[in-house]
Amino acid sequence: MADDKKHAEIDAALVRQLAEILNETDLTEVEVERGELRIRVAREVTVNAAPVQYAAAPAPVAAPAAAAAPVSMPSDPATIVARAGEEVKSPMVGTAYLQPSPEAAPFVQPGDKVKKGQTLLIVEAMKTMNPIQAPRDGVVADILVGDGQPVEFGEPLVLLEA
């Protein structure tokens, strides 16, 4: 019985630590496994829009080269132009999707006015769709990634202007 109580205390402390990790990051869930013990802590993410259905990325289809070309930075530093505005960066490694499903309209487009908390795009990481939200009200100056493009942690995704 004392051994069961000890495990319960360890479990509660671990759950609290996992919950703190969720609160400190933009993760929507975290899971830990120690021997036979497996704990998963998740939080519900609410979006200020109609319910969205997510689908797997479509298989590559022949498309015009301009539409399929990934966005890339110039390799010559002299050609890099300073961008005015705030970069919304990826909080994780994953795949960026600009619309909720392949046949749906994009979440946002350059020139759109957005409100704080509005979904700009989603990043899929480990089969979990993570909405990337506007950190403040503003105007979308540029979308810096392509649909279905792999993204790295800290990579700029969207440029917001005041």
Q: Tens digits of per-residue pLDDT, 134-156? A: 999 999 999 999 999 999 999 99
Mean pLDDT for 36-52 is: 61
Contacts of range 36-40, beta carbons closer than 8 Å, 24 or more positions apart: 37/7, 37/11, 39/11, 39/14, 39/15
Query: In whole numbers, what is the pLDDT of the chain averaged over residues?
Result: 76
Q: Tens digits of per-residue pLDDT, 70-92? A: 444 444 444 344 556 899 999 99
pTM of the complete model beyond 0.75: no
**Res 65 pLDDT > 60:** no
